[in-house]
Amino acid sequence: MEKDYWQERWKQEETGFHQNEVNPYLRQYWQELHLAADSEVFVPLCGKSRDMLWLSEHGYAVLGVETSAVAVQAFFKENGYIPNHASSEKFDRYDANSIRILCGDFFELSKHDLAKTRAVYDRASLIALPPEMRERYADHLLSILPPATQILLITLDYPQLEMAGPPFAVSANEVETLYHEQFTIRQLSQMDVLAQEPCFQERGLSRLQESVFLLAPHK
């Protein structure tokens, strides 16, 4: 699941992972963060997610990172924005209407890039990565986040042997393992959703659960 894989998926329009509507868990649980207006929200591996629009419309500054220029350009075009564009050594930067997307490698992000971030919204980042990359992802994220940053995390869990990801299965135990040293982890929701997901039924799954977690830094 290196960056070339995702860039090719976007080029070939193999984007079944993209949601055309705002995620209902974002609508339902974002208030749990009690985040101040104008705070910056970081959206890793953001693609062209409409969730960024929802966050912007609710008064937040949005910072996304995405490896695919196709996805970034599609986001702004489809939503009627003409972004300002600037290039640096590591990222192409696109800005419009309180939304900034850095086009490049997540692992090239630094503390400086996320200096203003106060929350992370991860709907499709952790579950996009195979097991051998998830620990590296979490370690890098934690190394660059400012203190007191909260995370709203949405995961999928299913018998991994029944289907090759992505999306990959991430259990509550794995969330605990990855994040417990720095965060108090509260599971806000767990839903059995296989009956509403015929495409996953066709891929042979016998169980599919969506979970929502709120990660709050230890006091």
pLDDT per residue as tens digits for the range 163-188: 998 999 999 999 999 999 999 999 99
Residue 6 binned pLDDT confidence (cut-offs 50, 70, 90): low
Q: What is the pLDDT of residues 14-60, one digit of tens each?
A: 555 446 799 999 999 999 999 998 999 999 999 999 999 999 999 99
CA 8 centroid distance within chain? 19
Give the pLDDT band (50/70/90) at residue 115: very high
Q: pTM of the full predicted structure?
A: 0.94
Query: Per-residue pLDDT for 134 more than 70?
Result: yes
C-alpha dihedral over 138, 143, 147, 151, to 10 degrees? -20
C-beta of residue 138 within 8 angstroms of C-beta of residue 180: no
Q: How far apart are CA 168 and CA 161, in angstroms?
A: 10
Closest CA relative to residue 188, chosen from 172, 168, 170: 172
What is the third-level CATH fold of 3-12+37-217? Rossmann fold (3.40.50)
